[in-house]
Structure 1
Amino acid sequence: MTDVSPAADVTYPADGFALFPDRSVVALRVNGDLKDLSTIVTADDAVEPVLIDSADGLSILRHSTAHVMAQAVQRIKPQSNLGIGPPITDGFYFDFGNVDPFTPEDLKAIKKEMERIVRENQRFVRRVVDETEARELMADEPFKLELISLAGGPGSGANAAEGASAEIGAGELTVYENVNRDGEVVWRDLCRGPHVPGTRYVANGWDLTRVAGAYWRGSEKNPQLQRIYGTAWPTKDELRAYQQRLEEAAKRDHRKLGKELDLFSFPDEIGPGLSVFHPKGGIIRYEIERYMRERLLASGYEVVNTPHITKGDLFMTSGHLQWYADGMYPPMVLDEVVDADGHVSREGQEYYLKPMNCPFHNLIFRSRGRSYRELPLRLSEFGSVYRYEKSGTLSGLTRVRGMTQDDTHIYVTADQVKGELTHSLDFVLQTLRDYGLNDFYLELSTKEDGNPKFIGADELWTEATETLREVAEASGLELVPDPGGAAFYGPKISVQARDAIGRTWQMSTIQLDFNQPERFELEYTGPDGEKHRPVMIHRALFGSVERFFAILLEHYAGAFPVWLAPVQVVGIPVADDFAPYLDEIVARLRASGVRAEVDHSDDRMPKKIRTHTTQKVPLQLIAGEQDRSAGTVSFRFRDGSQTNGIPVDEAIDKIVAAIAGKLLVNTAEDLA
């Protein structure tokens, strides 16, 4: 990395061009903290440049572009109030109050105004202010005033509002002012920073992508704001590449493919976020679950089953009612009582649909005495859970209200923790590879100091976090920090997987929990004859079956490996006379466990081929007189390639082997 440490105290030029005329550097890391290029540094400081194409550099560029957009909005709609405008994955957004929903014409006008602001080459100037001055400067911005009130309190930083850590953080309040060539302040915002030196850094690759509604601070009780999303990249070429990825992602959208391939739906009669799987989707889901169950049993997991509802006391003990109630369905008042006269009344006991399986598994552990000889005890369940997600957050199968989790809870001694975490991570990575995902990195989610959401002693959190860190680093995968992202009861490792077009999905989670065993008073008898508290590991490989289904559907663009394809083989006769010949072959395939059928429709052969290619059937068997006479078939593949004259026995062996090998067969070469 380029050494930019000064020989003496120095202020880097505000426009950054004296040192970095190619705009490759947008900020500095000074003693580990991100700072503007105009920061005064000393000879004793450790200083590194923040490159524009680094993760931090992209976030700074996108946050700065969000400010340019917000200034443009307020030029066009002066009455609008500023919400928050953080960088997000691949882009940014900004929320606005006191404004009507944005139209496509509005976006065109905002983009033109942004281009003018970029050409004006305004400088981003940081000012440290106290609360009184901040209130004076933001007097016309009610949402900013609310954030100022939160600054420094228990709701400050990332907890003040969704994305609000970009506006305020621990410590001092800062305002960024846009200054024109004449030295006049033309716009300002309450902001934590840092920012690029000036608006001309935003000149290259950006676009506004869509609009949406959003509630202030993420609560339906607060005013609804109007949100504009955008994206920003260092170059126009990178912007175009991103837009091409979006086009490819649109083709792979699981909601679109689910309808086209007749896999699942969300009937209005059932309710938002509650899916039904059709026969073709159902068999894919069955295969996903079947293989996972085989892996679990082979790896020493034990299968349990628990009900869908429970008395509220269980979730009071676990802590979910204290910390997760907003994500749970409202209680049902149940338990009938019959008096001496036969009258039925309700006792008033509250029951809840379960949002989590872990409290039930704790009760199974506690149901009898446990010995250290039983540990590790791995309890596994495909358990249906229900979460009252806000309607605006629902998104196909990736964000639902009813889901099935492949949930495992592992109870271990303190000495077994590290080994079992390693075992769990190895299990997760190998199983994901079997489903066709191979590109991973890890994320370590930790607690946020001072946040009352996180329960338990600090020393236990420290021990759990460091143990997870050691296991993650030993895997050899990249480890990315996620401060504040832990569950309320303990830190976690998340496996992040990149799909076929480079998008990242959070997949499996492994969470270490010292708290629930304490809350449920779980015990086992040790070799010393004394009672000891087990450590609990939460492990979900899929997250939910529904979400994993959606990820695989998009990863493969609907063209699943043969073992997962709903129809693995379809027979297409050249003419009706050859259908009985294919019926015999398909009967043999079915006897071998292959999902195969013959197309007996009245369509002509070319139309049948197009139909089943569109439906992404991996293998089509075509037969005419030459094949029937020779006892052969012809293979046709998804890409249109074809292999002719394959003896029937050999064809069946190839198909069965492709399924057993979990092969992705799209071309003739894939089955060679």
Structure 2
Amino acid sequence: MNDDNDHRDLGRDLGVFATDPLAGSGLPLWLPDGAVIRAELQRLAKDLAHRDGCVDVYSPVLGKRALFERSGHLGKFSDDMFPAMRLGDEAADDELVLRPANCPHHALIYAAASRSHRELPLRLNELGAMFRAERSGVVSGLSRVRQIHLDDTHVFCRPDQAGEEAARGLRTAIEAQRILGLPVDCVRLSMRDDSDAWLGGREQWREAEAALRDAGQAVLDDAGLRLVEAPGEAAFYGPKFDLQVRDGRGHEETIATVQLDFNLPERFDLTYHGADGERHRPVMLHRGTVGSMERVVAALLERYRGRLPLWLAPVQVAVLPVSEAQDSVARALVDALHGKGIRTELRCDDSLGARVADARRRRDHLIAVIGQRESADRAVQVTDVAGDHRETVPVQVLIDRAVEARDGRLPLVRWA
């Protein structure tokens, strides 16, 4: 990968994120332009989750040590967790831990009410923060961090619904990457190996792996993606689908995941009332369809070399009047674009050539120049660098095309 396509350099040069020794390694600071990108990704994640029938919840980033002992995270994941914190004279049992995952809290939310077989599946969604005690020599930019913000849904369903829910999650994860323009290299079925580092029995794992394989095959056939089996790559609590992409260096990374979990419902004694009046154990699925905000932004910066699609671009339209005589017309265009919710900046300082060069350097998506002729014709000269397109169009055409690209989350603005 060329140095000019490293997300760490792009992130610094474009004002997406910063780092500071006082904040600490692996804890990036999201700058205003980075916050815009992240907010758009979060909106996409919520839109997809709500379309799939997910409901929003919120849970604390801290939990008692006992919560993670019960979930199995402390037993299997302790090396990647931050040390427990004791407050004052409180007992050791009251030590608090920064959560490495959101699922234990969501299990508690499920358990907060009695559940009937008729109300399942229940899909709980939260874009929550999780913490990993990555070593200083491992953390890197946004791709390897100590605080992760994951588009996280946990589905609680009957066993007969698990296959359909896994397929639903996989289908949505593939669609999310299509919208983002991140090509999926393959879908990995991550399974256990022959070691004893897994929760649950071998037969239970074999059944779960077979269920995932069967559930995902039709989805993968429709998407034209191949399934690659990967023993030893499962989560400690169950097998999973991992959507694999390649970064600018050709390294394979997981960008989104759908996981089957038969252990947490057992550990938290989760039940629902069946049609027979008896208590039954639900199946739990973990799905991160967009992915972690940090890793996805890193992948997007490198995929587009910083020139993001219009709906993600911090500045969607830069308006440049040629001279002071066009300032009032330019301001009217900015106001009209703002009125449609288009992120717009008016640039008046310096020469026109310098302003155009600066807009290109900053990766503003559309550059709109208004000179004497454009002002008289109520038109604007538009340069769309990503689409390799330049033409003079009526002001309303510019507004309509920008709104269309924004609302449709299009990879390119449609000018024809």
TM-score (norm 2): 0.95
Q: Does 1:454 align with 2:191?
A: no
Q: Residue 15 of structure 1 corresponds to which residue in structure 2? A: none
- Name which structure has the greater RCO, CA cutoff 8 Å, separation 6+: 2
Matched-pair contact (CA < 8 Å) for 1:439–1:499? no
Q: What does 1:102-181 correspond to in 2, within 5 Å? A: none
Q: Residue 366 of structure 2 corresponds to which residue in structure 1? A: 619
Alpha-carbon separation, structure 2, partners of 1:439 and 1:509:
12
Q: Residue 584 of structure 1 corresponds to which residue in structure 2? A: 332
SS of equivalent to 1:391: coil
Q: Residue 115 of structure 2 corresponds to which residue in structure 1? A: 370
Per-residue CA deviation, residues 480-529 of structure 1 (Å, 9 max, x unaligned), is 12111111111111111356896643111111111111111000000111
Report how far residue 471 of structure 1 moved: 2.2
Matched-pair contact (CA < 8 Å) for 1:254–1:396? yes
Report how far residue 644 of structure 1 moved: 4.1
Q: Residue 265 of structure 1 corresponds to which residue in structure 2? A: 18
Report how far residue 640 of structure 1 moved: 9.9
Report how far residue 652 of structure 1 moved: 1.2
Alpha-carbon separation, structure 1, partners of 2:386 and 2:156:
49
Alpha-carbon separation, structure 2, partners of 1:600 and 1:534:
61
Matched-pair contact (CA < 8 Å) for 1:618–1:665? no
Residue identity in the other structure for 2:309: P
Matched-pair contact (CA < 8 Å) for 2:6–2:248? no
- Gap runs ≥5 in structure 2: none
Alpha-carbon separation, structure 1, partners of 2:108 and 2:245:
33
Residue identity in the other structure for 1:555: R
Q: What does 1:488-637 correspond to in 2, within 5 Å? A: 488-498=236-246, 504-601=252-349, 603-637=350-384
Residue identity in the other structure for 2:47: E
Matched-pair contact (CA < 8 Å) for 1:371–1:525? yes
Matched-pair contact (CA < 8 Å) for 1:501–1:555? no
Alpha-carbon separation, structure 1, partners of 2:317 and 2:370:
13
Alpha-carbon separation, structure 2, partners of 1:609 and 1:317:
58
Matched-pair contact (CA < 8 Å) for 2:82–2:133? yes
Q: Does 1:323 align with 2:76?
A: yes
Q: What does 1:85-484 correspond to in 2, within 5 Å? A: 246-247=1-2, 250-334=3-87, 345-348=89-92, 349-449=94-194, 451-474=195-218, 475-476=220-221, 477-484=225-232
- Gap runs ≥5 in structure 1: 1-245, 337-344
SS of equivalent to 2:285: strand
Q: Residue 656 of structure 1 corresponds to which residue in structure 2? A: 403
Matched-pair contact (CA < 8 Å) for 2:45–2:289? no
Per-residue CA deviation, residues 532-572 of structure 1 (Å, 9 max, x unaligned), is 00011111124411111111111111110000000000111
Matched-pair contact (CA < 8 Å) for 1:658–1:671? no
Which stretch shows the higher mean deviation, 637-646 or 478-487?
A: 637-646
SS of equivalent to 2:258: strand
When the two chains are superposed, the root-mean-square deviation of aligned CA atoms in Å is 1.8
Alpha-carbon separation, structure 2, partners of 1:671 and 1:554:
26
Report how far residue 642 of structure 1 moved: 5.8
Instruction: List structure 1 runs of 4+ shifted beyond 6 angstroms.
Output: 499-502
Q: Structure 1's 439 and 326: CA in aligned 2 closer, same or farther, altered over 3 A? A: closer
Per-residue CA deviation, residues 56-85 of structure 1 (Å, 9 max, x unaligned), is xxxxxxxxxxxxxxxxxxxxxxxxxxxxxx
Q: Structure 1's 279 and 527: CA in aligned 2 closer, same or farther, altered over 3 A? A: same
Report how far residue 639 of structure 1 moved: 6.3
Which stretch shows the higher mean deviation, 575-584 or 352-361?
A: 575-584
Alpha-carbon separation, structure 2, partners of 1:347 and 1:460:
38
Q: Residue 75 of structure 1 corresponds to which residue in structure 2? A: none
Alpha-carbon separation, structure 2, partners of 1:639 and 1:309:
43
Matched-pair contact (CA < 8 Å) for 2:45–2:290? no
Matched-pair contact (CA < 8 Å) for 2:63–2:97? yes
Return the structure number with greater strand share: 1
Alpha-carbon separation, structure 2, partners of 1:642 and 1:388:
46
Matched-pair contact (CA < 8 Å) for 1:490–1:514? yes
Alpha-carbon separation, structure 2, partners of 1:484 and 1:642:
48
Matched-pair contact (CA < 8 Å) for 2:184–2:243? no
Alpha-carbon separation, structure 2, partners of 1:560 and 1:486:
33
Residue identity in the other structure for 2:296: F
Which stretch shows the higher mean deviation, 583-592 or 482-491?
A: 482-491
Alpha-carbon separation, structure 1, partners of 2:387 and 2:170:
40
Per-residue CA deviation, residues 274-316 of structure 1 (Å, 9 max, x unaligned), is 0111001100100110121112112100111100111100000
Report how far residue 440 of structure 1 moved: 3.8
Q: Residue 61 of structure 1 corresponds to which residue in structure 2? A: none
Report how far residue 439 of structure 1 moved: 3.8
Alpha-carbon separation, structure 2, partners of 1:309 and 1:459:
34
Matched-pair contact (CA < 8 Å) for 1:375–1:413? yes
Which stretch shows the higher mean deviation, 424-433 or 256-265?
A: 424-433
Report how far residue 641 of structure 1 moved: 5.7
Residue identity in the other structure for 2:58: N
Which stretch shows the higher mean deviation, 491-500 or 576-585?
A: 491-500
Alpha-carbon separation, structure 1, partners of 2:307 and 2:119:
43
Matched-pair contact (CA < 8 Å) for 2:255–2:295? no
SS of equivalent to 1:453: coil
Alignment length (residue pairs): 411
Q: Residue 30 of structure 1 corresponds to which residue in structure 2? A: none
SS of equivalent to 1:508: strand
Q: Structure 1's 577 and 509: CA in aligned 2 closer, same or farther, altered over 3 A? A: same
SS of equivalent to 2:86: strand
SS of equivalent to 1:472: helix
SS of equivalent to 2:115: coil
Alpha-carbon separation, structure 2, partners of 1:591 and 1:443:
45
Alpha-carbon separation, structure 1, partners of 2:380 and 2:291:
42
Identity %: 39
Matched-pair contact (CA < 8 Å) for 2:169–2:289? no
Which stretch shows the higher mean deviation, 644-653 or 351-360?
A: 644-653
Report how far residue 405 of structure 1 moved: 1.0
SS of equivalent to 1:634: strand
Alpha-carbon separation, structure 2, partners of 1:316 and 1:374:
29
Alpha-carbon separation, structure 2, partners of 1:642 and 1:412:
49
